[in-house]
Each structure stands twice: as structure tokens, then as C-alpha cells.
Amino acid sequence: MISRYNDRSLHKGKRDLDQPTMLIISDDPEFSRAITARWQAERTLPAFTLVSSDLSLDFDPDSFHAAVVGRIRPQSLSVVMEAMEAAGKRVLFLADDTTTLTTVRERWPSTLILKQQDHWLDTLVLVATEALQRAFAEAARRRAEHSKILLEGQAMLGRYILDMRHNLNNALTSILGNSELLLLEPGSLSANARSQIDTIRNMALRLHEVMQRFSSLEKELNLTEPQFAREAGNFADAAAAAE
């Protein structure tokens, strides 16, 4: 069983991770429904993905920010928890017996464990909301760092091309000048040599035209670099605000 929905409607398809997304893994549909129903009372509601333990391994780790695990078949416990640990996401485990609680605590110490006792839904939503917000902020920070690195690399490549353009233009000017001088002396060259030099000149002219197109690159860089900086800053601000 896999179902996905947010505060408005049930929907299928690829999740938009611009919204905090909580994965709920359980073999008891009532358990998952109880959590999502209780969460409806909160002011902010994440998107939910509900999945049974036998399908948890097929899930893309980048499709959710945090996970709640509870009421799964005992034989699926190790498989599910190992998959969650490999995903590197914050996991909240609802333990309904002491044996399971002890096992999870010993084998997966980074997991947040809650006992399924009185008012467990209120406690779960409170803790899960905080964990989800932190996970979402961390994901936003990583996206900001990735965007910054990508934009800096693009700007560096553009600047390198501009620097090389001047050197290439100088070389092309020399090639064109010398080929023109050789072609002005028709008697000193064979027909085959004139044809080859004419080809060199034409190719040099074509390269020169290509290099001239890079003249607009400098203007574009001057216009877009401040925009790149603002976008990277916006990502960072969004990440900080979510924390």
C-alpha cells in the first residue's frame, strides 16, 4: 500500500520537495490514519506519504524529509530500519512493547523513540513537527550550497572563456593577416597551396565570427552574477527561516 496526500487532496506522482514531506511506514492502516487525522488539527500541515513495510525499500530517499515508523511486522523491523538508516533521514519510531523499544535503541541509536502510551499522538505530532522542520531546513541549506557551487562554476567558466577570447582573437588576427598577404602574391603559390591557404583564411574568419559572439557574454555575466548571488542568498535565508 502506497498513498500520498497533503492537506487538500489525495494525489499520486512525484513529490514537490518545496513542501515538508513526512513518510509514514506502517502495516496498520489505522495507525497511519490516526497520525494524519491528528495532524489535521495543527496550523501547518506537511505532505504525507503512507507506505507499508514491504514497499519501504522501493522508496527514493530524496522523496521525503523525515519518517515515522510504527506497527510494522516484526520480521520487517530490521529491513525497514536499515533502509531508513541508509537514507540518512530523521526517523521517529513508535514502540508498543519493551522488547521492540530496546532492540531499536540498541541497534539504531540515532532513531528517536516514543512509547505508544497515553496521549502518544499529541507527543508524536509535537516531536515529529520539530524533526520535520529541522530536516526541511537542512535540505534547503544543502540545495543552497549546491546552487551556489553550480552558479560559481558557471561564472568561473564564463570568465575563463572571456579571458581566452582575447588570446584567441590575437592568434586569429595573425593567421588572417598572414594568409591575406600570401594570397596577394598569386604567382608565388601553386594552385593547390592557394586553395589550402584560402581554406585556412575562411576557417579563421569563421572562428573570428564565433569569437565575436562571446562579446555579449561579458554583458550577460555582469547582469546575471548579481542575480545569481541574490538567488543563492534567498536559498540560504529560506533555510535559516525554516530552522
Interval 19-66: pLDDT, tens: 888 999 999 999 999 999 999 988 888 989 899 988 756 677 788 888
Number of domains forming the structure of the chain? 2
CA–CA separation, 14 and 139 (whole Å): 17
Residues 66-76: pLDDT tens digits? 899 999 999 99
Same domain, 211 and 152: yes
In a shared domain, residues 100 and 159: no
Residue 181: predicted pLDDT: 86
Residues 18 and 110 in one domain: yes
C-beta separation of 92 from 132 below 8 A? no
Burial pattern 34-63, b for ≥16 Cβ within 10 A else e, equals: bbbeebeeeeebbbbbbbbbeebeebeeee
- Regarding whether 211 and 170 lie in a shared domain, the answer is yes
| 150 and 224 together in one domain | yes
Mean pLDDT for 102-114 is 91
Residue 34 lies in a domain: yes
- pLDDT for 219 equals 67
Find the domain containing 156 and state its range: 144-242
Q: Are residues 78 and 174 in the same domain?
A: no
Q: What local confidence, expressed as pLDDT, does residue 65 receive?
A: 87
C-beta contacts of 224-229 below 8 A and 24+ residues apart: 225/155, 228/151, 228/154, 228/155
| Dist CA 158 CA 220 (whole Å) | 10
In a domain, 96, yes or no: yes
158 and 111 in a common domain: no
In a domain, 131, yes or no: no
11 and 68 share a domain?
A: yes
Task: Give residue 13's pLDDT.
Answer: 41
Does residue 56 lie within any of the structural domains?
yes
Tracing cell 541509536 back to the chain, one arrives at 109
Q: Is the pTM of this model over 0.75?
A: no
